[in-house]
Amino acid sequence: MGGFIAPLVVYLVKKDESPFITQHAKESLNFQITLILAMMASAILIFIFIGFILMFVVGIGSLVLVIMATIKASEGKPYRYPVNIRFIS
């Protein structure tokens, strides 16, 4: 849940200061919402045992994608998560 709060706070505080920060905060917020939904689906699927594998895949995938986004942001380049539902545009 902490992964959802940090981009929300950054978005709300910095949205009028920098378009670059706003864009990255929105992407991160959308990705965190997508992760919450994926983990909820995985939790439901635990009852048929595929949920354990799905949780592992989602966890590793999110770690890799967040690292890639962090590297791009530190280079000053925009980054769009490849598997992301765009709730906030």
Q: Give the number of C-alpha atoms closer than 13 A to the C-alpha of residue 79, restricted to the C-beta side.
A: 22
User: Is the pLDDT score of 1 beyond 70?
Assistant: no
84 is a domain residue: no
| Residue 43 forms part of a structural domain | yes
How many C-beta atoms lie closer than 10 Å to residue 25's C-beta? 22
DSSP secondary structure, 50-71, as one string: HHHHHHHHHHHHHHHHHHHHHH
pLDDT confidence of residue 2? 60
Q: What is the pTM (predicted TM-score) of this model?
A: 0.85
Residue 79 lies in a domain: no
Classify residue 66: in a domain, yes or no: yes
Q: Give buried/exposed letters for 29-62 (b at 16+ CB in 10 A, else e).
A: bbbbbbbeebbeebeeeeeeeebeebbeebeeeb
Domain region containing 18: 2-74
Tokens of 33: 């919402």
Convert the pLDDT of each residue in 18-66 to its tens digit.
888 888 889 999 999 999 999 999 999 998 889 899 999 999 999 999 9
pLDDT of 86 above 80? yes
More confident residue, 3 or 86: 86
Does some domain include residue 86?
Answer: no
Say how many domains are in the chain. Answer: 1
